[in-house]
Amino acid sequence: MVSITAEPINPTALYERIAKGSSGSVVFHYAVVKEQADASGRTSCIDYRATDGGVQEMEGIVADLKERWQVEDILLIRRTGCLAIGDIISLVAASSPNSEDAFEACKQGISRLKRMATIVKNEMYS
């Protein structure tokens, strides 16, 4: 499952979606907005915008992860809008019969999600 949404991410509902009876391992990673300070000021929120092709780019990531590792399911979810400190930005989850494949697929999914060309990030300062 892939999704780009302005709605908050619901961890409980997503666990129920990805957990399978044959999954010996389910790995979740949530990226959250963190407070940062630099010469521009302190982070107040980060505005994420999706451009055309985002869902297709994410579907390609999922297909690649499923090809490389023994996984039963992969979830990739990205939020859009102005997200406050502590808000969940994205979720990467992998279920697999074994932990090694679940962790590796999740790790690579995180890396690929961060590099998405179809999501534009604009940090806002106070």
Domains of the chain: 2-125 (3.90.1170.40)
3-state secondary structure the chain: CEEEECCCCCHHHHHHHHCCCCCCEEEEEEEECCCCEECCEEEEEEEEEECCCHHHHHHHHHHHHHHHCCCCEEEEEEECEEEECCCEEEEEEEEECCHHHHHHHHHHHHHHHHCCCCEEEEEEEC
Q: How many other CB atoms sit within 10 Å of the CB of residue 66?
A: 15
Percentage above 90 pLDDT, the chain: 78
Q: How confident is the model at residue 41 (pLDDT cuts 50, 70, 90)?
A: confident
Q: Quick: pLDDT tens for 51-76.
A: 999 999 999 999 999 999 999 999 99
Q: Quick: pLDDT tens for 69-103.
A: 999 999 999 999 999 999 999 999 999 999 999 99
